[in-house]
């Protein structure tokens, strides 16, 4: 697996139009759910189309800490065997560094009848409560309590229940699906998340023998089954990686073909790029983007799916620094996901924030190379896009954040003609 160098930086010479085709890998966030699901059964599970990224490496460490065997069977193919689980409680320092690791709670509760996990860490993008997860476990009949630094949930057998989720949380919905798959009777989750990564987990669980309907809507019905089995499952394409390269093509006024994407997962991005004047053609699993010298300002809102993904909000904001007029960016999923604006301003962007969830961008502004810091995986990717269009050299530090979520982003961008080096 790729090493993550905490001291690495990207050095980018801006001003080149990107051209060519780029292949999209498997979804980071769908992979994390699939890895947790492999804990549900003692059989082997084979996951295909798995990205070789830092977060997958980290999740593998979490699974191994519980006694699972996790290894690459081939490039992008992960073999997981959870035959001999020796624990129901991953070390808190591991959980503290990866929010997705909290997904082991639902899987372990089903498999072992108990699970204990510290509050999960993750990117600094706002308050990230886990009440949806915990209230759902309790509704299914688990005893849920706090013991020292961990949440502990236990139940001999869970019982299906009607659950109303206060918020359509992605990880919360995934955790509750894994808790409900073997519960006695029917579970209904109202206000469930509809994100493609939730749909992907539902598809994998169905392949393992689970009975789930409604994936992709806000109401899920899960009929508990007595047995599940291992499976072979191919991870869906990463819509956020696809979106990143589509915006990279647009911002450099280039022509980029994004291959191997799932076009249906990106309706809001495609609509907003077109509204801003970017030419977007789709066909099969390809998205072809042609940039324009006449980008127009637009208003964007990051929302639960199928709204524009919060994970693409910062990248779109960078694009809008090049658009004529005043653009409004509203972040409506997380309460503090505009921290990258400070870094963008160092590059000359005219962006002001009102509160922590709205940014107002005046453009077009020429961006200038600077030394900036990747604050999280998507903020880091957004700065790369800014650097691609900036005059002169940009150095982006803390790029281990970017490596957590993007496989070979420097190689892929170089293949499109960018000047980007890892230093």
The contact mask relative to ligand EPU for 146-185 (x = CB under 6 A, - = no) is ---------------------x-xxxx-------------
CA atoms of 183 and 226, how far apart (whole Å): 8
Least separation, in Å, of the C-beta of 335 and ligand EPU? 6
190 lies in the site for ligand EPU, by CB under 6 A: no
Q: What is the DSSP string of 186-225?
A: EEEEET----HHHHHHHHHHHHTT-EEE-BTBSEEEEE--
- For position 129 contacting ligand EPU by CB under 6 A, the verdict is yes
Size of interface with ligand EPU, in residues (CB under 6 A): 29
Is residue 310 within the footprint of ligand EPU (CB under 6 A)? yes
State yes or no: residue 130 binds ligand EPU (CB under 6 A): yes
Binding of residue 99 to ligand EPU (CB under 6 A): yes
Subset of 13-52 contacting ligand EPU (CB under 6 A) = 28-29, 32
Site for ligand EPU in 314-333 (CB under 6 A): 333
Q: How far is the CB of 137 from ligand EPU (least distance, A)?
A: 11
Of positions 22, 68, 94, 123, contacts ligand EPU by CB under 6 A: 123
* Dihedral sign of CA atoms 345, 359, 172, 131 in order: positive
Omega cis (within 30) before 306: yes
Q: Would you say 168 or 230 has its CB closer to ligand EPU? A: 168
Pairing of strands 299-302, 325-331: parallel
- Sheet order of strands, 279-283 included: 19-23, 255-259, 286-290, 279-283
132 binds ligand EPU (CB under 6 A): yes
Strands laid side by side in the 419-422 sheet:
371-373, 393-397, 9-13, 419-422
Residue closer to ligand EPU by CB (options 255, 403) is: 403
- Other residues' Cβ atoms within 10 Å of the Cβ of residue 244: 26
Cα torsion 126, 97, 260, 314: sign: positive
Given 133, 265, 272, 373, the residue binding ligand EPU (CB under 6 A): 133
Q: What angle do CA 64, 101, 214 make, to 5 degrees?
A: 120
| Given 241, 257, 311, 398, the residue binding ligand EPU (CB under 6 A) | 311
The HSE-up count of residue 36 (CA atoms within 13 Å, CB side) is 34
- Does 62 sit near ligand EPU (CB under 6 A)? no
From residue 357 to residue 386, what is the string marking binding to ligand EPU with x (rule CB under 6 A)? --------------------xx--------
Would you tell me how many other CB atoms lie within 10 Å of the CB of residue 336? 15
**Contacts of 207 by beta carbon, 8 Å cutoff, 6+ apart:** 231, 232, 233
Q: Does 334 bind ligand EPU (CB under 6 A)?
A: yes
Return residues touching ligand EPU (CB under 6 A).
Answer: 28-29, 32, 99-100, 123, 126-133, 167, 169-172, 193, 195, 197, 310-311, 333-334, 377-378, 405
């Amino acid at each position: 697996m790729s090493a993550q160098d905490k001291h690495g930086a990207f050095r980018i010479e801006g001003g080149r139009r990107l051209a060519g085709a780029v292949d999209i890998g498997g979804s980071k966030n769908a992979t994390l759910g699939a890895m947790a699901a492999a804990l549900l059964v003692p059989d082997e599970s084979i996951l295909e189309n798995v990205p070789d990224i830092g977060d997958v490496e980290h999740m593998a460490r979490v699974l191994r800490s519980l006694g699972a065997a996790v290894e690459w069977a081939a490039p992008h193919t992960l073999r997981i065997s959870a035959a001999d689980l020796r624990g129901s409680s991953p070390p808190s320092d591991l959980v503290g560094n990866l929010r997705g690791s909290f997904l082991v709670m639902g899987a372990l509760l089903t498999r072992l009848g108990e699970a204990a996990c510290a509050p999960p860490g993750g990117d600094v993008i706002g308050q990230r409560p886990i009440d949806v997860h915990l209230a759902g476990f309790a509704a299914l009949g688990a005893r849920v309590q706090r013991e020292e630094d961990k949440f502990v949930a236990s139940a001999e057998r869970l019982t299906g229940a009607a659950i109303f989720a206060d918020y359509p949380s992605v990880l919360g919905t995934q955790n509750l699906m894994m808790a409900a798959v073997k519960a006695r009777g029917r579970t209904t989750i109202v206000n469930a998340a509809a994100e493609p990564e939730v749909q992907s987990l539902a598809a994998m669980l169905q392949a393992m023998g689970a009975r789930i309907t409604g994936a992709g809507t806000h109401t899920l019905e899960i009929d508990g089954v007595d047995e599940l089995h291992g499976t072979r499952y191919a991870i869906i394409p990463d819509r956020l990686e696809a979106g990143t390269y589509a915006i990279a093509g647009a911002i450099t006024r280039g022509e980029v073909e994004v291959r191997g994407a799932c076009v249906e997962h990106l309706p809001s991005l495609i609509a907003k790029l077109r509204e801003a004047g970017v030419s977007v053609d789709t066909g099969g699993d390809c998205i072809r983007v042609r940039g324009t010298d006449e980008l127009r300002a637009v208003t964007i809102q990051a929302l639960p799916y199928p709204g524009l993904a919060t994970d693409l909000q910062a990248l779109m904001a960078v694009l809008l620094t090049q658009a004529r007029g005043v653009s409004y960016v509203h972040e409506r999923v997380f309460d503090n996901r505009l921290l990258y604006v400070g870094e963008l301003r160092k590059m000359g962007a005219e962006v002001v924030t009102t509160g922590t969830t709205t940014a107002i961008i005046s453009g077009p502004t020429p961006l200038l190379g600077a030394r900036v810091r990747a604050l999280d995986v998507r903020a880091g990717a957004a700065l790369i896009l800014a650097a691609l269009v900036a005059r002169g050299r940009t150095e982006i530090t803390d790029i281990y954040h970017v490596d957590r979520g993007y496989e070979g982003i420097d190689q892929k961008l170089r293949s499109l003609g960018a000047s980007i080096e890892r230093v």
